[in-house]
Amino acid sequence: MITAIEDSPIYPIVNPQSIAFFGASNNFRRMGSIMLSSVEALGYEGALYPIHLTEEQVRGHKAYKSVLDLPEIPDLAIIVLPTEVVCQAMEECGRKGIKHAIVVSGGFKEAGPEGATRQKELEKIADNYGIRFLGPNCLGVANPHLKLNPTPIPAEGPPGFVGLASQSGSFLTQMFNYLHRHGLGFSTALSVGNEANIDIVECMEYLGACPNTKVIALYIEGIRRGRDFMNVAQSITPHKPIVALYIGGSESGKRAGLSHTGAMAGPDAVYDGMFRQSGIIRATTLSELFDFCLALGTLPKPGGNRVIIQTHSGGPGAAAADSLGRAGLELPPLSPDTIKKLRAIIPKTASTNNPVDMTFSKNPMDDFYKIPEILLQEGNADMLLVYFVSPEIFVTRTMKSAGVPPDRIPEEAHTLIAQNVEAFCSLAENYGKPIIGYTYRSLQEQMARSLLDRGIPVYQDPERAARAMAALIEYHRLREKIAAISAEEPDDEPACAEE
Amino acid sequence: MITAIEDSPIYPIVNPQSIAFFGASNNFRRMGSIMLSSVEALGYEGALYPIHLTEEQVRGHKAYKSVLDLPEIPDLAIIVLPTEVVCQAMEECGRKGIKHAIVVSGGFKEAGPEGATRQKELEKIADNYGIRFLGPNCLGVANPHLKLNPTPIPAEGPPGFVGLASQSGSFLTQMFNYLHRHGLGFSTALSVGNEANIDIVECMEYLGACPNTKVIALYIEGIRRGRDFMNVAQSITPHKPIVALYIGGSESGKRAGLSHTGAMAGPDAVYDGMFRQSGIIRATTLSELFDFCLALGTLPKPGGNRVIIQTHSGGPGAAAADSLGRAGLELPPLSPDTIKKLRAIIPKTASTNNPVDMTFSKNPMDDFYKIPEILLQEGNADMLLVYFVSPEIFVTRTMKSAGVPPDRIPEEAHTLIAQNVEAFCSLAENYGKPIIGYTYRSLQEQMARSLLDRGIPVYQDPERAARAMAALIEYHRLREKIAAISAEEPDDEPACAEE
């Protein structure tokens, strides 16, 4: 186990002060050029040294014929060269004294026996020089906090709290947009590729120590060091949640994974058990992986599994109740005291059963403060799930009818909604109970977007909200179990048989 | 059973030439006013007669003190009045000779014993005058083809092919935006409310006959006429798919539904059997309801359950394979002939296993025509599932690097992507096999949006695509079964015991 984050070989890979870049050129269609352009787009402030045999300059940077010519020893080499010359580049990095690398190039173990031999050679060169590297056959890393994105797709949105270690590079580089739209962002993301040198276990260990990472997401096609994986996970989950998507369990997932990274998948049940014993929450799909991350990275520990639904629409309330029931959550009745407090401010057609269905808003402001505050004070409940329609529509329409000049409406509506968001968010801070939203509208509308930006999870379907809430409860249950076992057992006691 | 659509009491309700509107006023905060504003926003071209005791004009329309004063007998009355005066309004409608109504007002059976008595009174008045009506406690109807939207929220997007009959009004009026974002739209939508007079069975029957409706969506909290429901469904499903979301099966869903419309839910398994025997596809969530509608309303009948995945990213391909496997779909290997044809145009690092993973695009145009065409010609497969990243990013970036002037890029990129969409859509027309897309990016980006607008389903997660594909297969399986039974049995033979 690492004791400080700087002890991890991954630290210089995601926090480099200087990078030697192999494979970028002025031909924009080359993968290396594309990756360098993403680095530039995010505004990386360290030194960039393109290595190129013939070009004097690459995309405006002075280019060097050989890494040996560089004026300093870079912290990191990124290699995006044709397969045949990767070993040579690694050799030269070693001679220069470079100790960390990312090998993006493919054509190694995933490409058959010849590639496997080539990978052995690459590993040997790295070992000779004490180089630690990610890949080959990966798509790089991202550390948005350092404005570092050597991946093929430009980063989007602010840095976030999700630490990703992925056996798919696409699930790193193609997820910036997805995460931003869903209120998330990477703290640090690592594409492990063929794991010839650094594997997913070391990545998880790094993310466990990374202060920007509140929750770890793993995309797994197959794990080689099962025992180490569990030991590291067990040391992390008592203080930081881990969510894993394992796709090698199904026959079709296994075959697809095998041809992808050459990872050997194991039976689904084995992985299930491994995750559970390690306190890891398992997701079934990529959407679920990040849905769970959103809940686990933003919400406080719930006191139990009792949820109040706040709605002003019967169908969406009933659908949420159905989803919560299916996810094992309970809908307690409101206490007489809560009902009394509510009755003073809600329409007489409103239902004070749970879901609390206002039917319509007597005073729309109350939806975002007074009503949820009363529901958060309910001693019989542990969490609050709130349905959002679209305040924009109602606010704009009401202002129009009230005679607000049309050119003033957008700004006034914006201000009003911002006030509601502010009021609502203060409840989350004051009451310490998990508050979750759901809507069928776009998450990019002002209300939902602002809530997401303020760390209130909003889901696009109550089913997704319910499953995320169940994952939150499950994490805290497993966490306590793991913490209790860790307290009892000496560190080196095996928790399960070696693979 | 109705023999012509005009025979249904619903026909004049969703195709009125003239409407008496009770409850709209110049006070914009009234529900009636809000609903009238939605009608105006969509541009309804029939006659609108607001009925108002004191106002001379309502929102620019001449108002009438009583419906009895109107210059003609309107096709439809829409009643959005305080509960206490609803019966009186219905009485006056009857005296005027109006035969069809929508009662939006609540405070009836859903509100307890007193409300139930009031509902009986309302029913009796309607019966006296031969009035057929939707509601009470509903949120109206929508017929976008007629630019008719008497619901509280403005319509969005073009008319579509989903016919909805819903025991939740919110799932009508709050879904315009959702449907449009997901490539769908209502043909006709009906909120049934308390079903005092017209019930969901009659709505389903109407939608079965409605030529604009390609697929019927039902949101159900409880069905009263089980036998009739099945008979009608069985007469529809051999020629038109029906998808149902039933939320009364879970304990929490049942309780929520009961307080919502007062519908009595039955055990989940009973409904499950009822749906299956009627050829109805069951959805678990609202998202799934419409996901299934999209597939069922756009895709041809597949020859079987064998799917090829086309991707250029390993992780998304593997995740899709996993989802397809879980949904009971098969991933056949490609035949040698297909592999040979592919090899000529894909990179050598590409995998011709299934998923077909190009790893990168040698020629991005090929992704949208040549490669999918080869895969559609594969005799071993019945459907094609294609992963889309974001051509916008790549096209724009490539043009920029190729020196296209920045101000020309948006238009040129748009044209190029439009050409790709055109090419891709022509495949769907020429090969007659279901083609489905998935992406983790926004459906509002040009490629996905254009495909949706052209009737190619694109889902935001391969899991959703896989489940929709499985629903498509299940529909055709059930449909053949129902058709076979119908052919054997005389019409009046009971298919199951009476409730």
Q: By C-alpha distance, which of B287, B293, B22, B4 is closest to B135?
A: B22
> How would residue B497 be classed by pLDDT, with cut points 50, 70 and 90?
very low
Q: Is the peptide bond before A316 cis (omega within 30 degrees of 0)?
A: no
Q: What is the pLDDT of residue A215?
A: 98
Query: What are residue A243's DSSP bridge partners?
Result: A217, A281
Instruction: Round the average pLDDT of chain B to a whole number and report it.
Output: 93
A111 touches B: beta carbon within 8 Å: yes
Tokens 């006070």 found at: B27
- Please judge whether A321 and B250 are an interchain contact, meaning their C-beta atoms are less than 8 angstroms apart: yes
Chain A CB contacts of B321 under 8 Å are: 247, 250, 252-253, 255-256
Name all domains of chain B by residue range, CATH numbers in brackets: 5-159 (3.40.50.720), 301-460 (3.40.50.261)
Look at residue B49 and give its three-state secondary structure. Answer: strand
Number of Cβ atoms within 10 Å of the Cβ of A17: 13
For helices B286-298 and B462-488, angle between their N-to-C axes, nearest 10 degrees:
70
Task: Provide the residue type at B217 as one letter.
Answer: A
Q: Which contacts of A52-57 are long-range, i.e. CB under 8 A and separated by 24 or more positions?
A: A52/A24, A52/A25, A55/A25, A55/A26, A57/A26
Q: What is the pLDDT of residue A493?
A: 44
Tokens 């303020």 found at: A454
The pTM of this model reads 0.94
- Please judge whether B398 and A28 are an interchain contact, meaning their C-beta atoms are less than 8 angstroms apart: yes
**Pairwise CA distance, residues B466 & B385, whole Å:** 9
- Please judge whether B256 and A321 are an interchain contact, meaning their C-beta atoms are less than 8 angstroms apart: yes
- Please judge whether A169 and B256 are an interchain contact, meaning their C-beta atoms are less than 8 angstroms apart: no
Which of A322, A360, A388, A395 to mutate to test binding with chain B, by most B CBs within 10 Å of its CB? A322
Cβ atoms of A132 and A198 within 8 Å: the answer is: yes
Shortest Cα distance, chain B CAs vs residue A485, angstroms = 33
> How would residue B496 be classed by pLDDT, with cut points 50, 70 and 90?
very low
- Look up residue B191 and give its DSSP letter: E
- Please judge whether B171 and A325 are an interchain contact, meaning their C-beta atoms are less than 8 angstroms apart: no
Q: What is the pLDDT of residue A83?
A: 95
Which of A58, A252, A264, A330 to mutate to test binding with chain B, by most B CBs within 10 Å of its CB? A252
Mean pLDDT for B179-204 is 97
Residue B24 CA neighbour count, 13 Å, CB half: 29
When mean pLDDT is compared across A321-335, A389-403, B253-267, the lowest value belongs to B253-267
Cβ atoms of B309 and B320 within 8 Å: the answer is: yes
Q: What is the pLDDT of residue A498?
A: 38
Tokens 């509903």 found at: B138
For B3-14, how does the pLDDT look when each residue is reduced to its tens digit (9 = 90+)?
Answer: 789 999 999 999
Query: What are residue B18's DSSP bridge partners?
Result: B47
Within 8 A by CB and 6+ apart from A480, the residues are: none
Phi (first) and psi of residue B356, to 5 degrees: -80, 110
- Please judge whether B169 and A397 are an interchain contact, meaning their C-beta atoms are less than 8 angstroms apart: no
B398 touches A: beta carbon within 8 Å: yes
Which residue of chain B comes nearest to A358, CA vs CA? B260
Q: By C-alpha distance, which of A384, A442, A389, A378 is closest to A420?
A: A389
* Residue B498 pLDDT exceeds 50: no
CB pairs under 8 A between A and B: 220
Q: What is the pLDDT of residue A262?
A: 54
Look at residue A44 and give its three-state secondary structure. Answer: coil
**Residue A193 zone, left/alpha/beta (φ > 0; ψ -120 to 50; rest):** left
Helical segments of A217-250, H only: 226-236
A419 touches B: beta carbon within 8 Å: no
When mean pLDDT is compared across A1-5, B250-254, B427-431, the lowest value belongs to B250-254
Number of Cβ atoms within 10 Å of the Cβ of A116: 14
Structure tokens at B36: 């009238």
Is pLDDT larger for residue A254 or for residue B390?
B390
Chain A CB contacts of B260 under 8 Å are: 314-315, 317-318, 351, 357
Q: What is the pLDDT of residue A188?
A: 98
Q: What is the pLDDT of residue B493?
A: 44
A34 touches B: beta carbon within 8 Å: yes
- Please judge whether A256 and B169 are an interchain contact, meaning their C-beta atoms are less than 8 angstroms apart: no
Which residue of chain B comes nearest to A325, CA vs CA? B252
* Residue B149 pLDDT exceeds 80: yes
For B100-135, how does the pLDDT look when each residue is reduced to its tens digit (9 = 90+)?
Answer: 999 999 999 988 899 999 999 999 999 999 999 999
Look at residue B46 and give its three-state secondary structure. Answer: coil
Q: What is the pLDDT of residue B265?
A: 58
* Residue B499 pLDDT exceeds 50: no
Structure tokens at A75: 């912290």
For A174-209, how does the pLDDT look when each residue is reduced to its tens digit (9 = 90+)?
Answer: 999 999 999 999 999 999 999 999 999 999 999 999
**Pairwise CA distance, residues A201 & A274, whole Å:** 13
Torsion angle, alpha carbons of A77, A80, A85, A89, to 10: -10
* Residue A310 pLDDT exceeds 60: yes
